[in-house]
Structure 1
Amino acid sequence: MSGLIDLDVIAGAKATHKYARLSASKARVVLNLIRDEDLALARDRLRFCERGAAEVVSKVLESAVANATNNEQLDADELYVAECWADEGPVLKRWRPRARGRATRIFKQTSHITVIVAQLSPEELEMREARLAASGSQTAAAARAARVAASRATTDTGEADESAPDDADDIVATADEAAEAAIDDTGEAIAAEVDAADPNDEAASEADADGLVDDGARRADVATADVADPEEDVADPEERN
């Protein structure tokens, strides 16, 4: 996969960052880490690289991938870093003030960073699939599809859980309505039984009430008889003597 890539023959895309504010030698150290590597591996290496040039190179790589997916309609999972290099740019001359009115020159290096991504050949894709199958891992597309399926399953489960409390509330409300209806029916039955009471029982109740009234009257007469007349209690003094 080494060598210059002709984008007119091979499907791919290119991105260039001109006048990057770092030297070409520093950029080349990072570019050597991702050359001829799969896109996923190149991204991982740039993500964990501690050099400052890795951030700039990562932006150039993502720009090249965006050009390939948007302009060339290529699948990002089938891309690899075909070529990458850094050319020398113009030198920016600055002054550094020193003691006693002196100044020294500062030379700020710039560079032009270029990254080319291309599509893997069918043979290389088959080899990668076999390698992934042997290692038990999966491609980024398969992993993304699995995540989407898991997310949809979680969403469906959440909707079912949300509908369960509504069903429980409906069941409780139905039970309450049934209990209230049973209580109403019981009250109506009791009232009907009271209305349909035996007339003989009512007559007996009235007789008992009359008997109680007569008994009370007799007790009142006895109490009145026990109270003596005051004139009878006053005896003649001569009779007492």
Structure 2
Amino acid sequence: MADVFEVKAIARHIPMGTQKVRLVVNAVRGKGASEALDALRFMPQAAAEPVFKLIASAVANAEENYGLEMDELVVSEIWADEGPRHRKAPHGGRFAGRGRFRPIVRRSSHITVVLAEREAAQ
């Protein structure tokens, strides 16, 4: 069995909710790298831009470090995890019923992509 090249890239602390990022991530999983970049270029979601930049960075790493072509690469794994939450306290929030207070929570995401060679992925 030949060596399987896997190129991994991580984008951390993206100021966007994880659910919104996962909608975009699920659309490009399993596609070729050039096909995924073309699809992301025309998606209207705001999460498409950081995912596009991350896949482009992983492709550049593969070309520079391992000498792989973009046509040979496939998005074998891609996922989005929760990042840290920032609670805007003590003054940032909304008043709720029964004398309670609800803080505003700013969510973030960590996105990870793993590119593999087309022959090895199939």
How does the TM-score come out when normalised to structure 2? 0.83
For residues 46 and 8 of structure 2, the distance between their equivalents in structure 1, rounded to whole angstroms, comes to: 22
Superposed CA deviations along residues 200-236 of structure 1, whole A, max 9, x for unmatched, are: xxxxxxxxxxxxxxxxxxxxxxxxxxxxxxxxxxxxx
What is residue 144 of structure 1 aligned with on the other side? none
Partner of 2:82: 88
**Match of 2:111?**
113
Q: Distance in 2 between matches of 1:108 and 1:23?
A: 8
Aligned position for 1:37: 31
In the alignment of these two chains, the number of paired residues is 112
- One-letter amino acid of the structure 2 residue matched with residue 55 of structure 1: E
Q: Which amino acid aligns with 2:115?
A: V
Distance in 2, matches of 1:10 and 1:18, equals: 26
- Partner residue in 2 for 1:22: 16
Structure 1 letter corresponding to 2:4 = I
Aligned partners of 1:82 and 1:97: how far apart in 2? 42
Structure 2 CA distance, aligned partners of 1:27 and 1:61? 14
Deviation at 1:80, TM superposition (A): 1.1
Distance 1:63 1:106 in 2: 33
Alignment of 1:147-186 (within 5 A): none
After TM superposition, give the deviation of residue 97 of structure 1 in Å: 7.1
Identical amino acids, percent of aligned pairs: 39
Contact 1:18/1:112 (CA < 8 Å) preserved in 2? yes
Deviation at 1:44, TM superposition (A): 1.4
Other-structure match for 1:57: 51
Report which of the two has the higher share of strand: 2
Aligned to 2:104, the other structure's residue is in SS state strand
Distance 1:42 1:80 in 2: 9
Please give the per-residue CA displacement for 1:108-157, whole angstroms capped at 9, x wherever unaligned: 111110011111118x6xxxxxxxxxxxxxxxxxxxxxxxxxxxxxxxxx
RMSD in angstroms over aligned alpha carbons? 2.0
| Displacement of 1:73 | 1.3
Gaps of 5+ in 2: 96-100
Paired with 1:26 and 1:12, the residues of 2 have a C-alpha distance of 26
Output the CA distance in 1 between the equivalents of 2:27 and 2:16: 17
In 1: Cα distance, 2:119 partner to 2:94 partner: 57
Instruction: Decide which structure has the larger Cα Rg and report it.
Output: 1
Consecutive unaligned residues of structure 1, counting only runs of 5 or more, are: 1-8, 125-241
Secondary structure of residue in 2 paired with 1:63: helix
More helix by share: 1
